[in-house]
Amino acid sequence: MTTIRVLVGGLAAIIGAAQAHAEARVEFILDGSGSMLGKAGGEAKVTAAKRVMSALLRDIKLPPDSTIGLTLYGHRRKGDCADIERLGPVGYARRERLVAAVAALKAKGRTPIADSLAMVGESLKAREGATSIVLVSDGIESCGKDPCAVARKLRERYGINLVIHVVGFDVRKGQDQLKCIARAGGGGYHAAADPQALAKKLGAIRVAVQTAAKPKIITVTASPLSAILVTPLTLEGFPKVEEIGIFKSGYRKRCASVYDWYWGERVARAKEAGKKIVVTPGAYDIVVKTAGAPKTTRLVVGLEVPSKRTVTVNTDRAIAAIKVPKMKGIEHKGVYVVTAGQTRSAGTVTNASYHIQAAKTFGVVMPVEADCPYDVLLNTGQTHFLPIAEKVAAKPGGLLVIK
């Protein structure tokens, strides 16, 4: 079977095979509160966090069209719950700007986690793609709000397009709250007791984010395709094929009139012979229009086209034709070829409306279906049609002349 590979972007999940690739975004939230001045593993937590976060920003591998954002809180003023600074998002190739912001961070103030999450969430309103948020904090919300409720609302708003990961760095108080944020945000909670553990936990999150951001390859089984090749008509004296129609088989019986090009379920058409016409496997009727002929001609009825095959229709062997040369002393308004046995009355045909072919003059080559019995009529202009040949059939590739 044929396979189609579809690329779908997203950090959290694959939303259907037909969805277009959307850019990935990663948002980091870093704690700059006063408690980060405390030590973990013999090193100030803020120093360790800045070093590990800078390395993460430099080492993370994301698709070129990805964006990265950074939110810092508590790093500029003491006791100010509005001390939140949002940077970016910047393009993946320009993430060094965020590294510089991390390097300049100084731990000073409060811990407004809820408002930081809300600020990041608000920035996502115009996006269609998915986002991962990574929060690094050493403690509990200190501004009287509920960050877990904010995480829950963001998840409800953006669904699986949003995932929140949380790293608790040397958390002394508030671990349950941080776990709740991760759980409500559809991500995981990672506890790090010292700088080495912090690097390890953020490294694991980096791998998860990179994997999720990488476009997914989905393999879809396609319907099998086949083709029909109708060869050019090269028989001497026959008119040129000007158009080919491929119809679902069954809309007309063999040897009946192809009264209208638009009757039946046409699945394909081509302006010239000699080129493959792509179809799905099935049974088809092949109909052609030829130069100068007012009617279409059926070449094949019920042509079986198997899966993944090209079936060739030899036009020279499938088509036939009838011609009535000039009849001396006979004036007429047209020569008609009709299905044999139409209603008769007193030796005349009362209705030739559903004719196979017609010509206004003698000597016209009229393409017909091969091996089919036809009556050839002359319109005398006296309200009836006179049969000049009955139940005649032209052989494949043959020209039947009525003298």
Question: Mean pLDDT over residues 71-85, rounded?
Answer: 96
Dist CA 349 CA 378 (whole Å): 10
More confident residue, 115 or 18: 115
In whole angstroms, what separates CA 42 from the centre of its chain? 56
Confidence of residue 1 (pLDDT cuts 50, 70, 90): very low
Q: Which range is least confidently modeled, 32-36, 313-317, 348-352?
A: 348-352
* 237 and 325 together in one domain: no
Report pLDDT for 4.
36
* 58 and 175 together in one domain: yes
* 86 and 203 together in one domain: yes
Report pLDDT for 20.
41
Report which of 175, 169, 168 is spatially closest to residue 48, judged by C-alpha positions. 169
* 330 and 274 together in one domain: no
Question: Mean pLDDT over residues 211-218, rounded?
Answer: 80
Q: Which residue segment(s) compose the domain that 22 sits in?
A: 3-218
* 214 and 231 together in one domain: no
Question: Mean pLDDT over residues 18-24, rounded?
Answer: 57
Looking at 288, 319, 350, the residue that finishes a domain is 319
Looking at 267, 294, 319, the residue that finishes a domain is 319
pLDDT at 33 over 80: yes
Confidence of residue 129 (pLDDT cuts 50, 70, 90): confident
* 94 and 190 together in one domain: yes
Confidence of residue 358 (pLDDT cuts 50, 70, 90): confident
DSSP 300-341: EEEEEE-TT-EEEE-HHHHEEEEE----TT---SEEEEEETT
For residues 59 and 21, is the Cβ–Cβ distance under 8 A? no
Report pLDDT for 257.
66
Report pLDDT for 226.
95
Report pLDDT for 6.
36
> What confidence tens digit (pLDDT) does each residue in 162-211 have?
999 999 999 988 899 999 999 999 999 999 999 999 999 999 999 999 98
Report pLDDT for 170.
96
Dist CA 280 CA 227 (whole Å): 8
Report pLDDT for 11.
28
More confident residue, 129 or 197: 197
Dist CA 205 CA 55 (whole Å): 13
* 154 and 58 together in one domain: yes
* 237 and 151 together in one domain: no
pLDDT at 12 over 50: no
Question: Mean pLDDT over residues 155-166, rounded?
Answer: 91
Question: Mean pLDDT over residues 73-100, rounded?
Answer: 95
Place of tokens 């912090």: 198
pLDDT at 38 over 80: yes
Tell me the CATH number at 139: 3.40.50.410
Report pLDDT for 366.
92
Dist CA 226 CA 321 (whole Å): 30
Report pLDDT for 53.
97
Pairing of strands 25-31, 67-73: parallel
Report pLDDT for 221.
86
Looking at 184, 218, 252, the residue that finishes a domain is 218
pLDDT at 154 over 60: yes
Tell me the CATH number at 257: 2.60.40
Q: Which range is least confidently modeled, 2-6, 62-66, 101-105, 244-248?
A: 2-6
* 208 and 285 together in one domain: no
Dist CA 91 CA 64 (whole Å): 8
Q: Using alpha carbons, list the distances in angstroms from residue 236 to 131, 209, 239, 357, 394.
A: 70, 71, 9, 19, 15
* 33 and 86 together in one domain: yes
Q: Which range is least confidently modeled, 32-46, 224-238, 339-353, 364-378?
A: 339-353
Q: Per the structure, how many domains does the chain have?
A: 3
Report percent pLDDT > 70 for the chain: 88
Dist CA 119 CA 91 (whole Å): 19
Report pLDDT for 351.
57
* 282 and 338 together in one domain: no
pLDDT at 7 over 50: no
- Mean predicted lDDT score pLDDT of the chain: 87
Q: Using alpha carbons, list the distances in angstroms from residue 308 to 2, 220, 222, 277, 278.
A: 10, 17, 12, 13, 10
Query: Is residue 41 left, alpha or beta, with left meaning phi > 0 and alpha meaning psi from -120 to 50?
Result: left
Report pLDDT for 23.
83
Helix (H, G, I), strand (E, B) or coil at 343: coil
Dig out the tokens for 188 from the structure.
Answer: 């995981």
Report pLDDT for 343.
57
* 12 and 82 together in one domain: yes
Confidence of residue 344 (pLDDT cuts 50, 70, 90): low
Question: Mean pLDDT over residues 15-36, rounded?
Answer: 75
Report pLDDT for 15.
28
pLDDT at 65 over 80: yes
